[in-house]
């Protein structure tokens, strides 16, 4: 059985692939050109199992493989694979739905705390001798904000969102959420509201939905207009959920206080991205998922998914 992994470097440059290699004849690529279907097809044409993280597998690629029976996505989002084409070609597709829930929730609040507490900025200023030269025992360069009593609005209510909600509650925030399918929630401290009501109430808005045609540009001029002036928006989901030109304008005009994101429309970020011309915009290079422990878990779960497929006991199947 031939297994091909298309883009392993950023996931696993410091872990051991032995558990995957034991499953069959393994070819591991650090990187595969994401815009070169001919090269992708060449690499997987005779593979039985293909593993991808961010290398896209579209209809052309899937239809031109001769032996492909299984695609394993090393991640939660599955927009990199044409699921309908896989179904038509009788290819099983699996993902890893919960491997990073805790760390992404942690990172969501890392972004929020950086906006509200400005730790990074003031650490830098201290090392630049600004404190040593200050006339008083203290100083601050930007406003510092308290989270207690502020309303945290969460769009989506899956595993990550639920953990974000609990952290928000621990910070004594009022927590509300919107989900496209209503959910029964046992906790008394959280309230389910309509989408428009969530936009209206939120002091902090956190995005936790998958990318679909319906959610692309979910945050745009129209939805921003319904928000409070001074809202903080957090995005650890997908860059395309936010219209970046509209975000830039709202930041520069002061409608949005801060936009803190770990994801952007095109990754790596383009040098002319509107976000790079925006005031009070915090951008990290898609690292919320990347702690060592999380990536180790991701590798183990990827291997477990393949073992389940080989034994005929499928799990985490998308299609």
> Nearest-CA neighbor of 173 among 189, 161, 162, 188?
189
Domain holding 141, by residue range, is 101-283
Residues 36, 113, single domain; the answer is: no
Beta bridge partners of 49: 3, 70
Contact 223, 196 (CB under 8 A): no
Q: In terms of domains, do 246 and 189 share one?
A: yes
Q: Is 267 an active-site residue?
A: yes
Q: Which two tokens stand for residue 241?
A: 């959920």
Q: Which two tokens stand for residue 186?
A: 């046992």
**Domain total for the chain?**
2
Catalytic annotation, pick one of 141, 146, 253, 267 = 267
Which of 43, 122, 286, 295 does the annotation list as catalytic? Answer: 286
* Judgement on whether residues 17 and 123 belong to the same structural domain of the protein: no
Tell me the HSE value of 306 on the side-chain side, using a 13 A CA sphere.
28
- Catalytic-residue membership of 300: no
286 among known catalytic residues? yes
pLDDT in the model for residue 13? 78
Asked if 109 and 126 sit in the same domain, the reply is yes
> Is residue 318 included in any domain, yes or no?
no
**What is the model's pLDDT at position 11?**
82
Contacts for 108 with CB less than 8 Å, ≥ 6 apart:
160, 164, 167, 206, 234, 236, 288
Which residues in the chain land under pLDDT 50?
none
Residue 313 CA to residue 315 CA, distance in Å, equals 7
> 279 and 239 share a domain?
yes
Q: What is the pLDDT of residues 35-47, one digit of tens each?
A: 999 999 999 999 9
């Amino acid at each position: 059985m031939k297994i091909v992994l298309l883009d392993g470097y950023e996931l696993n440059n410091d872990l051991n692939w032995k558990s995957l290699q034991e499953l069959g004849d393994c070819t591991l690529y650090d990187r595969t050109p994401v815009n070169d279907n001919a090269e992708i097809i060449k690499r997987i044409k005779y593979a039985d199992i293909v593993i991808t993280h961010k290398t896209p597998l579209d209809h052309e690629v899937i239809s031109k493989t001769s032996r492909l029976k299984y695609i394993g996505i090393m991640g939660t989002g599955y927009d990199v694979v044409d699921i309908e084409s896989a179904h038509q070609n009788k290819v099983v597709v699996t993902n890893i739905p919960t491997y990073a829930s805790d760390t992404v929730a942690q990172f969501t609040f890392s972004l929020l705390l950086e906006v509200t507490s400005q730790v990074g900025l003031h650490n830098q200023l201290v090392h630049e001798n600004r404190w040593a030269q200050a006339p008083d025992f203290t100083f601050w360069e930007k406003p510092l904000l308290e989270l207690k009593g502020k309303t945290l609005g969460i769009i989506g209510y899956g595993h990550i969102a639920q953990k974000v909600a609990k952290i928000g509650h621990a910070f004594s925030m009022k927590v509300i959420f919107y989900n496209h399918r209503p959910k029964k929630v046992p906790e008394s401290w959280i309230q389910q509201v309509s989408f428009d009501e969530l936009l209206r109430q939120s002091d902090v808005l956190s995005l936790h939905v998958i990318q679909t045609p319906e959610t692309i540009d979910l945050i745009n001029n129209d939805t921003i207009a319904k928000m409070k002036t001074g809202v903080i928006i957090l995005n650890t989901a997908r860059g395309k959920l936010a219209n970046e030109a509209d975000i830039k304008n709202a930041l520069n005009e002061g409608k949005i206080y801060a936009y803190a994101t770990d994801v952007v429309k095109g990754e790596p970020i383009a040098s002319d991205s509107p976000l790079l011309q925006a005031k009070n915009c915090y951008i990290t290079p898609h690292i919320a998922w990347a702690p060592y422990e999380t990536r180790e878990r991701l590798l183990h779960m990827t291997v477990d998914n393949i073992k389940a497929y080989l034994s005929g006991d499928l799990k985490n199947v998308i299609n």
